[in-house]
């Protein structure tokens, strides 16, 4: 026996929710088995807050010290109130579209429809092959704005297919297990004075992520379906998953 710390999870899932998770993963596995090219057509996106100052991780703030030297000390600091909301979409080739939500703007259904319009225009310029196919496959979470009737109408009108996504499932969300942790790890411990500095640094970090990492992310996504099925719908991140 040994003591271990509890892991924080978004919420306690019901049996129905766990069953939904497993069913969706099995459905995705079957779909990709019938059409192995499907992941090539997926564009995934989400939103996240980027702070002007975010705490370093314990590993980042650690130092090499000799056995007799005193333990380093560090003043406790809080996240700064200055922040920006980043919306980012990417595929296997890299970042497709990114933008920052203007201060005071609410990410509601109207705003998200505008974001999708700008995404379509960016796809037309950056991914002409996807645009010619005229069948964009979107992967996003179940935020209320994304599930609204207005957004559903927009997606149907523009022939944009949405991949099923079970609720409360960060283990299966590209941005949660790949993009945003990768971005924020590079942003931690840095202090920015203006929102323009936050935007500039965020975009520079995103631009440095190599194509092979995005391809690896999509490969990991497919392996995570098996992890979810083995875990019978329970959260598995950190428990032998990817």
Query: For residue range 153-209, what is the model confidence (pLDDT) as tens digits?
Result: 999 999 999 998 877 788 888 999 999 999 988 888 788 889 999 999 999 999 999
Query: Does residue 25 lie in a domain region?
Result: no
Residues paired with 136 in a beta bridge: 160
Query: Does residue 22 lie in a domain region?
Result: no
* The pLDDT value given to residue 107: 80
Domain count, the chain: 1
Query: For residue range 100-118, what is the model confidence (pLDDT) as tens digits?
Result: 998 888 789 999 999 999 9
Query: Does residue 29 lie in a domain region?
Result: no
Yes or no: say if 107 and 151 are a contact pair by the CB < 8 Å rule: no
Question: Between residues 136 and 211, which one has the greater pLDDT?
Answer: 211
Task: Report the CATH number that the domain containing residue 173 is assigned in CATH.
Answer: 3.30.420.10
Name which of 31, 50, 53 is nearest 42 in CA terms.
Answer: 31
Range of the domain at 99: 39-56+78-230
């Amino acid at each position: 026996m040994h003591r271990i710390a509890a892991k924080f999870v978004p919420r306690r899932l019901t049996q129905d929710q766990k069953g939904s998770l497993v069913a969706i993963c099995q459905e995705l596995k079957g779909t990709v088995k019938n059409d192995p090219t499907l992941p090539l057509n997926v564009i995934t996106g989400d939103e996240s807050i980027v702070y002007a100052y975010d705490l370093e991780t314990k590993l980042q703030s650690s130092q090499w010290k000799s056995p007799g030297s005193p333990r380093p000390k560090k003043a406790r600091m809080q996240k700064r109130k200055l922040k920006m909301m980043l919306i980012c979409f990417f595929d296997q080739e890299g970042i497709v579209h990114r933008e920052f939500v203007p201060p005071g703007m609410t990410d509601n259904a109207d705003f998200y429809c505008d974001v999708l319009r700008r995404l379509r225009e960016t796809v037309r310029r950056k991914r002409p092959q996807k645009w010619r196919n005229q069948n964009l496959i979107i992967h996003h979470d179940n935020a209320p704005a994304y599930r609204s009737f207005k957004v559903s109408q927009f997606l149907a009108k523009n022939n944009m297919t949405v991949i099923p996504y079970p609720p409360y499932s960060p283990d299966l969300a590209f941005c949660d297990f790949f993009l945003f942790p990768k971005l924020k790890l590079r942003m931690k411990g840095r202090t920015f004075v203006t929102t323009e500095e936050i935007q500039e640094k965020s975009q520079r970090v995103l631009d440095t992520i190599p194509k092979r990492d995005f391809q690896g992310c999509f490969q990991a996504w497919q392996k995570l379906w098996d992890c979810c099925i083995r875990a019978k719908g329970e959260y598995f991140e950190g428990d032998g998953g990817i």
